[in-house]
Amino acid sequence: MFAYIVRRVLATIPVMAFVALFVFSLLYVAPGDPAAVIAGDQATPDDVERIRASLGLDRPFLIRFGEWVWRILQGDLGVSIFTNLPVSTMIQQRIEPTMSLMIITLILAVSVAIPMGVVAAWKQGTVIDRTVMGFAVLGFSVPVFVVGYVLAYVFALELDWVPVQGYTPIKQGLWPWFRNLILPSIALGTVYIALIARITRATMLEVLQQDYIRTARAKGAGQRNILFLHALKNAAVPIVTVIGIGIALLIGGAVVTESVFAIPGLGRLTVDAILRRDYPVIQGVVLLFSFVYVLVNLFIDLLYTILDPRIRY
Amino acid sequence: MSASILDPTGITAANVAVAPTLPDIMPPVKARKGFFGFMRQNPAIAVGGSLVTLMVLVAIFAPLLFTTDPTALAPALRTREPSAMYWFGSDMLGRDIYSRVLYGARVSLLVGFSVAVFASIIGLTIGMISGFVRWADSIIMRVMDGMMSIPPILLAIALMALTRGSVQNVILAITVAEIPRVSRLVRGVVLSLREQPYVDAAVAAGTRTPVIIWRHILPNTLAPITVQATYICASAMIVESILSFIGAGTPPTIPSWGNIMAEGRALWQVKPYIVFFPAIFLSITVLAVNLLGDGLRDALDPRMAKRI
């Protein structure tokens, strides 16, 4: 068991190294002269040269990559072309809103989607099931910013229940902080809820046909016990897997949600960086999000052994 | 494997003591023939397919559908509410939103279809190589794992940040982000097909590998690839709108649904219709493509339908 954990943790190192290499080499494989593209259309030749030198595009690839990785390992993600601040500082300033948004969305999505999927499977073929499945298809189809605008229009502009936009740091109180994040997390969570509800339903349908469910029924276990204790426990592995994979949706969606609700987080930072073609910042954010994604999925892999004791490595 | 030729199931009165008659899970299927029969049996395909067709027609015949020049400015007629003159209103530069939305369908559909086709073809090739060339498999799959650990939208954003905004670059960026998933799917299908008895039979008969791939493997990957391609199309349209919305996609001079929404963003609290109309079109189109995908999945691959 311990050996497995060590092996699994070590196995993420080449993946992360590959991600780093990939994000880094994008700068080189991009068509055209990246320094000129980043500098923009109004740049003078001097600007282009300055950017070329600051990105190290004038030196050999492998040397640059080696130096870059070495600096990342020391926590140095480079310096923004636009603000001249270290990228790691910029990320630190922006990380709280994004983390808050993603954690609230995660909690919300899991606590809504799993009961939805379970009930849909239990009431298979009924109106409830069809409603849940219909919602799932809809959730996949309506882009996150559309959900965001509709929610903001109805609940913030028309009904005036919650603030339209903005973010309040958690230091200024739990309720003001949470109030600002209600709509963004619902908007961001919609696709995620659809995804989790769908896989929960599918897995539960399979599990509910197993012999041990019949046995549980035969010994007189209550419906709720059967669904949430016997069945859900056995359906946990695929559901948890999808929750992990779906983090990618949350990360991508956060970029957009933060734009819609004017939340000063990492997503907003990314968007600003794109508009200014501030590649070191984009590189830093993509790298950070990818590492978080890899680590979440590592954690989930390790969780399997707890969820399903039959999985032994 | 005790089943005999005469009784392929191997069930006899001797080995099944009590066999209560179970209710049929599947209701008896009435055979319907022809195009309309197929459509009646697969309502998701019928509804999704006709909506997609409608949207394609709208995109193609946009100039004939009472539109004006979608880029024509009319500074005196800025941000007009929807009316008889401006069906969907006008934006802050006085451009007709109805025309822009209809022309915007071209960009979305072009991006969706192109990404679906390119990602499928490239993914199919990579997946085939991975499934057949053992030494390449581990390398390819590690590369795909690495690419898959970058969230697709961020990967597309990073690619777009390095290129000048154009429809081709948007297609390229989204295709790159989608390839790993298709490759994995094809590889999985190829690996399971290779174990099929008919492939063994073909090998035993001395069929050369390229012929086996062409005749026995490829046709069987088409169903899951087609289903996957529709989902890719739907997700590519969403990603395109997201990229355009945050300013990293289609250049602002070309009307696309994401661009119209991006332009309406600053005014959405007072002029919500600017965002509203492209949003409706985008959502309905993506929904239609997703419905088509679900329908195709149920029709082409009943086993997969049971799993998801």
pLDDT of amino acid B1: 38
Q: Binning pLDDT at 50, 70 and 90, where does residue B2 land?
A: very low
Which residue among A22, A38, A144 sits closest to B146, beta carbon to beta carbon?
Answer: A22
Instruction: State whether A137 and B152 contact (CB < 8 Å).
Output: no
CB B220 within 8 A of CB B212: no
Across B180-202, average pLDDT: 88
- Residues of chain A contacting residue B277, judged by C-beta atoms under 8 Å apart: none
Q: Is the dihedral of CA B263, B268, B272, B276 positive or negative?
A: positive
> Residue B80 gets which letter from DSSP?
P
Q: What is the pLDDT of residues B228-249, one digit of tens each?
A: 898 899 989 998 988 888 888 7
Q: Name residue A62's amino acid.
A: L
Min Cα distance A34 → chain B (Å) is 6
Lowest model confidence (mean pLDDT) among A213-227, B14-28, B140-154? B14-28
pLDDT of amino acid B122: 94
CB B267 within 8 A of CB B92: yes
pLDDT of amino acid A103: 92
Report the residue of chain B nearest A268, measured CA to CA: B246
Task: Check whether B103 has a pLDDT greater than 90.
Answer: no
Give the closest residue to B178 by CA, choosing from B157, B146, B147, B221. B147
Per-residue pLDDT of chain A (313 residues; tens, 9 = 90+): 777 788 888 888 888 888 888 888 877 766 666 677 667 667 777 777 777 777 777 777 778 788 888 888 887 877 887 788 888 888 888 888 999 999 999 999 999 999 999 889 888 888 888 888 888 888 888 888 888 888 888 887 778 787 777 787 878 877 888 888 888 999 999 989 998 998 888 888 888 888 888 888 888 888 888 888 888 888 888 888 888 888 888 888 888 888 888 888 888 888 888 887 788 888 888 888 888 888 888 888 888 877 777 766 5
Q: Compute the distance between CA of residue B40 and CA of residue B87 in angstroms, rounded to an integer.
A: 35
- Tokens of residue B268, six digits: 């959405």
Min Cα distance B287 → chain A (Å) is 5
CB A23 within 8 A of CB A286: yes
Query: How many CB pairs (< 8 A) connect A and B?
Result: 145
How is A102-119 classified by DSSP, letter by letter? HHHHHHHHHHHHHHHHHH
Q: Compute the distance between CA of residue B308 and CA of residue B301 in angstroms, rounded to an integer.
A: 11
Other Cβ atoms closer than 10 A to A166: 11
Task: Check whether B168 has a pLDDT greater than 80.
Answer: yes
pLDDT of amino acid B160: 84
Q: What is the pLDDT of residues B257-294, one digit of tens each?
A: 888 888 877 777 777 777 888 888 888 898 889 888 88
Write down the pTM of the prediction.
0.82
What is the CA angle A187-A293-B147, rounded to 5?
110
Query: What percent helix, strand, coil does chain B show, rounded to 5?
Result: 70, 0, 30
How is A131-199 classified by DSSP, letter by letter? HHHHHHHHHHHS-HHHHHHHHIIIIIIIS--S-SS----GGG-HHHHHHHHHHHHHHHHHHHHHHHHHH
pLDDT of amino acid A213: 85
CB A168 within 8 A of CB A81: no
pLDDT of amino acid B307: 46
User: What are the CA-CA distances from residue B73 to residues B70, B86, B266 (Å)?
Assistant: 9, 13, 18
Min Cα distance A73 → chain B (Å) is 19
- Residues of chain A contacting residue B152, judged by C-beta atoms under 8 Å apart: 248, 252
Local structure of B299: helix, strand or coil:
helix
Task: Check whether B80 has a pLDDT greater than 70.
Answer: no
Min Cα distance A131 → chain B (Å) is 15
Residues 6+ apart with CB under 8 A from A150: B279
Q: Could you tell me which residues of chain B have a Cβ less than 8 Å from any Cβ in chain A?
A: 142-143, 145-147, 149-155, 157-164, 234, 238, 241-242, 245-248, 261, 265, 268-269, 272, 275-276, 279, 282-283, 286-287, 290-291, 294, 307-308
Give the closest residue to A197 by CA, choosing from A130, A143, A248. A130
Min Cα distance B4 → chain A (Å) is 28
| Count of helices and strands (H, E) across chain A | 14, 0
Task: Check whether B120 has a pLDDT greater than 90.
Answer: yes
Local structure of B175: helix, strand or coil:
helix
CB B258 within 8 A of CB B245: yes
Report the residue of chain A nearest B278, measured CA to CA: A146
- Which residues in A207-237 are b (16+ Cβ under 10 Å) and which e? bbeeeebeebeeeeeeeeebbeebbbebbbb
| Count of helices and strands (H, E) across chain B | 12, 0
Task: Check whether B54 has a pLDDT greater than 50.
Answer: yes
Which residue among A19, A34, A253 sits closest to B150, beta carbon to beta carbon?
Answer: A19
Residues 6+ apart with CB under 8 A from A65: A21, A24, A25
